[in-house]
Amino acid sequence: MAASDNELLVLRRKPRITGWLSLGWRLAAMAGLLALLILIHWIERDGLKDSKDGAVSFIDVIYFTMISATTTGYGDIVPVTDRTRMFDAIVVTPIRILFILILAGSAYTFVARRSWERFVMKRIQQSLKDHIVVAGYGTKNRRAVQELIDLGANPGNIVVIDVSDDRLARAKELGCIVFKADAARDETLRAVHVERAKLVIISAGRDDTSILICLTARDLAPDVRISIAVNEEDNEAPARRAGADVVVNPLDFAGLLLATTHAGHHIADYLADLASMKGKVRLIERDVRLDEIGKALKDITDGLGLRIIRDGTPYGFWRPQVTKLEAGDIVMEICPTAK
């Protein structure tokens, strides 16, 4: 079903000058050029001839300049001296062309380009499927998007929602689709077709806002996978009740990393290495392969098996359940990167 016009995604990048300021500069340039032509025509008025009364007044100069600059003239006032004719040929004609370009550029900026952008954005919106919706583009989600791209995600398949032009400009530079709107509103998530997304990542800065976005997304898309970041430990349970599949507390995780330095100063480095695509090893989660069914977790060849998830229950590498992998198991393992 086609989306209504008010649901269109609008790609945005913070411009150096606004559209109205750009129009103002164009109008000012046209006015300045006209003033210059009027001044020179007034100085050279003896080279003009008025077929009506023979006299060239200041009003006649203004009239002749406007007609000459915007059209080819009507022939009632004409240049008669070589000097004035050369001025019209060498100066007025290029300025007339410049006026046409300025007017055409303004029409393109304020009419044609916007119509084209709306058409392109409608096509993008209608084609959204199996995409990733990122609600909020602060520090945490900015890093998450970069990691997704490093892991091989197509930036054009990532939709970033935020109310900040500066943040959206950063996401746009990565190639993401951006949407300036409030992610907690139903119409916003409908516009990005959250029901067709494969993942929603939420980090809105405030826990209450993030949880509200989670509630809205879960209501509109019961089957989508939702990951949410909260800042307070007390809000982890409400976030799960709101429908989040994964709840991350960055501050709590940072505290855990700091605490590992008590047992040795290399542990935190290794954990950070695991968490980043740019590290030497990475922690991955995948479905068990057909050729692995019946084998023990320690016998898989891709990497070092850590645990399996069977029917929603995790089993570590020391548990007896991992001695024989079954169809439907999810394998977590540490694999070396390509570096």
- Produce one character per residue of 10-38: b if its CB has 16 or more CB atoms within 10 Å, e if not: eeeeeeeeeeeebeeeeeeebeebbeebb
Q: Same structural domain for residues 139 and 218? A: yes
Report the pLDDT value the prediction gives residue 144, as an integer from 0 to 100: 87
pLDDT tens, 226-276?
Answer: 999 888 888 989 999 999 998 888 766 666 666 666 666 677 677 777 766
Count how many domains the chain has: 3
Asked whether residue 14 is assigned to any structural domain, the reply reads: no
Calculate ∠ Cα 278-284-287, nearest 5°.
Answer: 150
Q: Same structural domain for residues 37 and 135? A: no
Tokens of 57: 């007044």
Mean pLDDT (whole number) for 98-103: 74
More confident residue, 250 or 214: 214
Helix (H, G, I), strand (E, B) or coil at 221: coil
Report the pLDDT value the prediction gives residue 254, as an integer from 0 to 100: 62
Asked whether residue 319 is assigned to any structural domain, the reply reads: yes
Q: Report pTM.
A: 0.56
Question: 302: domain CATH number?
Answer: 3.30.70.1450
More confident residue, 339 or 40: 40
- Whether 277 has a pLDDT exceeding 70, the answer reads no
Asked whether residue 75 is assigned to any structural domain, the reply reads: yes
Question: 60: domain CATH number?
Answer: 1.10.287.70
Q: Same structural domain for residues 167 and 222? A: yes
Quote the distance between the C-alpha of residue 44 and its chain's center.
Answer: 55
Q: Same structural domain for residues 151 and 228? A: yes
Q: Same structural domain for residues 95 and 150? A: no
Report the pLDDT value the prediction gives residue 213, as an integer from 0 to 100: 95
Mean pLDDT (whole number) for 183-194: 90
How would residue 1 be classed by pLDDT, with cut points 50, 70 and 90?
Answer: very low
Tell me which H or E stretch contains 273: helix 267-275
- Whether 120 has a pLDDT exceeding 70, the answer reads no
Tokens of 221: 């898309």
Report the pLDDT value the prediction gives residue 82, as an integer from 0 to 100: 77
Q: Is 229 exposed, middle or buried (0-12, 13-18, 19+ CB in 10 A)?
A: buried
Question: 134: domain CATH number?
Answer: 3.40.50.720
- Whether 38 has a pLDDT exceeding 90, the answer reads no
Which of 113, 137, 169 terminates a domain? The answer is: 113
Q: Where are the alpha helices (DSSP H) in 54-112?
A: 58-70, 82-87, 93-107
Report the pLDDT value the prediction gives residue 6, as an integer from 0 to 100: 44
Q: Same structural domain for residues 295 and 208? A: no
pLDDT tens, 123-132?
Answer: 767 778 899 9
**Structural domain of 27:** 19-113
Report the pLDDT value the prediction gives residue 115, as an integer from 0 to 100: 66
- Whether 4 has a pLDDT exceeding 60, the answer reads no
Q: Same structural domain for residues 139 and 203? A: yes
Span of 50-59, 183-192, 321-330 with lowest mean pLDDT: 50-59
Dihedral Cα 318, 320, 324, 326, nearest 10 deg: -100
Asked whether residue 261 is assigned to any structural domain, the reply reads: no
Report the pLDDT value the prediction gives residue 308, as an integer from 0 to 100: 92
With tokens 């054009």, the residue in question is: 156
Which of 84, 113, 142 terminates a domain? The answer is: 113
Winning range, highest mean pLDDT, from 60-74, 95-109, 274-288, 304-318 = 304-318
Are 133 and 201 within 8 A, CB to CB? Answer: yes
Mean pLDDT (whole number) for 78-89: 77
In the chain, what percentage of residues exceed pLDDT 90? 28
Report the pLDDT value the prediction gives residue 113, as an integer from 0 to 100: 59
